[in-house]
């Protein structure tokens, strides 16, 4: 996250910043905002002094994207109707600071999408040119972006690359 700080779930399961030097947590959200029925799956800082979170309601099993701006205290929560994997790298920030999320359609087709941070909605979904595959493991186990802006994905089927500018897999 930052030097000597890591984004984590604190002991109550809430999103927090862990300070390595002092071994202490600082809550990201104001007191009372996080509900005990929520489970944090992924967390990343955005480019505007806030955070994007993927969470699930433990009672209903429905997933949500939450955006919280720590400066303005603006909160947005939107349903996330796609499949996602608990405790895997679901969110990523590209070299331009844009937030991306990986997931799969209800039919199991893997995709990535850019997130509109203002209302935590998908800007455009890019489906992988891959056949649906059922496994106990997530289709995408890791991803990064190189200096040319090309995304690289470690998947169950091997290495994929995606160039958004060329719209090419």
Provide the pLDDT for residue 82. 86
pTM for the model:
0.85
CB 125 within 8 A of CB 113: yes
Of 28-32, 57-61, 125-129, 135-139, least confident by mean pLDDT is 135-139
Q: Give 135's pLDDT tier (boundaries 50, 70, 90).
A: confident
Higher pLDDT, 138 or 45: 45
Residue with tokens 């359609």: 105
Q: Give 168's pLDDT tier (boundaries 50, 70, 90).
A: very high
Give the single-character DSSP code of 88.
S
- Of 14, 122, 37, 120, the closest CA to residue 74 belongs to 120
Q: Give 117's pLDDT tier (boundaries 50, 70, 90).
A: confident
pLDDT at 107 over 90: no
Residue range 112-116: mean pLDDT, rounded = 91
- Of 86, 109, 137, 84, the closest CA to residue 100 belongs to 84
CA 169 to chain centroid: 21
Long-range contacts of 17-25 (CB under 8 A, 24+ apart): none
What is the C-alpha to C-alpha distance for residues 149 and 146, in angstroms, rounded to an integer?
A: 5
What is the C-alpha to C-alpha distance for residues 54 and 65, in angstroms, rounded to an integer?
A: 5
Sign of the C-alpha dihedral, residues 129, 95, 13, 88? Answer: positive
Rounded percentage of the chain residues whose pLDDT exceeds 70: 99
Provide the pLDDT for residue 87. 61
Provide the pLDDT for residue 88. 61
Provide the pLDDT for residue 64. 94
pLDDT at 84 over 90: no
Strand boundaries in the chain, DSSP class E:
5-9, 15-19, 24-27, 38-45, 50-57, 63-69, 75-79, 91-93, 99-104, 110-116, 121-127, 140-145, 151-155, 158-162
Rounded percentage of the chain residues whose pLDDT exceeds 90: 61
């Amino acid at each position: 996250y930052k030097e000597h700080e890591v984004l984590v779930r604190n002991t109550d399961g809430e999103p927090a910043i862990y300070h390595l030097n002092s071994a202490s947590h600082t809550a990201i959200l104001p007191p009372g905002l996080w509900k005990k029925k929520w489970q944090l799956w992924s967390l990343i800082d955005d480019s505007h002094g806030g955070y994007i979170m993927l969470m699930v309601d433990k009672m209903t099993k429905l997933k949500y994207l939450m955006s919280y701006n720590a400066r303005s205290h603006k909160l947005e929560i939107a349903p996330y109707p796609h499949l996602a994997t608990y405790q895997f790298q679901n969110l990523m920030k590209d070299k331009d600071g844009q937030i991306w999320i990986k997931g799969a359609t209800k039919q199991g087709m893997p995709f990535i999408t850019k997130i509109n941070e203002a209302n935590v909605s998908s800007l455009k979904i890019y489906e992988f040119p891959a056949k649906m595959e059922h496994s106990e493991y997530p289709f995408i186990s890791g991803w990064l972006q190189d200096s040319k802006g090309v995304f690289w994905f470690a998947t169950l089927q091997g290495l994929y690359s995606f160039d958004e500018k060329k719209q090419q897999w």
